[in-house]
Structures are given as structure tokens and as C-alpha cells.
Amino acid sequence: MTMTNAMIYVHIPFCDSKCFYCNFASGIYDDNTKKKYFDKLIDEIKFNATKGFNITSIYIGGGTPSSVDADYISRVIQNIKENYIVDKNAEISMEANPCSLSNEKLLKYKQIGINRLSIGVQSLNDI
């Protein structure tokens, strides 16, 4: 039996600063709020768990997902893999801002299976 393909979008609403033109659900929050958000996000991932779909794409957007500790992103992907059927060739994407990337974070993203980064740049001029 062929399973229906599906995709998962995960919203990370945290940014290091709020751009004046931005209408996305995003903002600057403290570490405690971030921790509580990710705890609830993991609850939600588990609550909606299903093995009825073949997940071909996971997209982690925001906000600026690269602005948070990479361990949070690792927990999200790990829990998706445990609670859903993720295709072995799934595209796992994450939005990133170059200012919040580091070698350590990039290595971690690779280790946890992220195979595509969507890089957002607000300006190429330092001001």
C-alpha cells in the first residue's frame, strides 16, 4: 500500500531584533519564554503523532530559527522522527540568518539531518 506524502512546517517565532517592515509572527523573547515555547512545541508534535503519512519535507521557518540554541532545533527534529514516518530522502530545511550562524551550529544542523538552509539577509550594508 502506498502512503500519502505529507510535509511538516514548524514555526519558530524568535528573532534577535524585529524588522520594522515585518508582519510575520515573530519577535524578541527571553530565554524562559523560548524554553516554554519549545516544551509546548514538543508536546504538540507528540499529540499529533501519526504513522499514516510519508513525510517528504520538514520546513523549520520563522522568525529566525538559527537565533535559538541548536539543541532546541535538534529536539524538534528528533521528536518528529520519533513520532512520524520521515522519508529517508526527506528534505529538511531551516531558515537562517548569517549573523546567527556559527561553525558549531552548522555542524549540529548537519548531524541532526538538516540538508537545506534558506538564508535570509536584510541588508548587505553594515550600518
Cell of 5: 506524502
Q: Determine the Cα–Cα distance for residues 98 and 118; give it in Å rounded to an integer.
A: 10
> According to CB under 6 A, which residues from 5 to 44 bind ligand SF4?
15, 18-19, 22, 24, 26
User: Smaller CB distance to ligand SF4: residue 67 or 86?
Assistant: 67
22/49 with CB nearer ligand SF4: 22
> Contact between 46 and ligand SF4 (CB under 6 A)?
no
Residue type at 11 in one-letter notation: H
Say if CB 27 and CB 78 are below 8 A apart: no
Separation CA 90–CA 92 (nearest Å) = 6
d(CA 81, CA 36) in angstroms, rounded, equals 21
| Closest approach of ligand SF4 to the CB of residue 26, in Å | 4
Cβ proximity of 13 and 62 under 8 Å: yes
Going residue by residue from 47 to 86, which x/- string records binding to ligand SF4, judged by CB under 6 A? Answer: ---------------xxx----------------------
Total chain residues near ligand SF4 (CB under 6 A): 10
Shortest CB 78 distance to ligand SF4, Å: 24
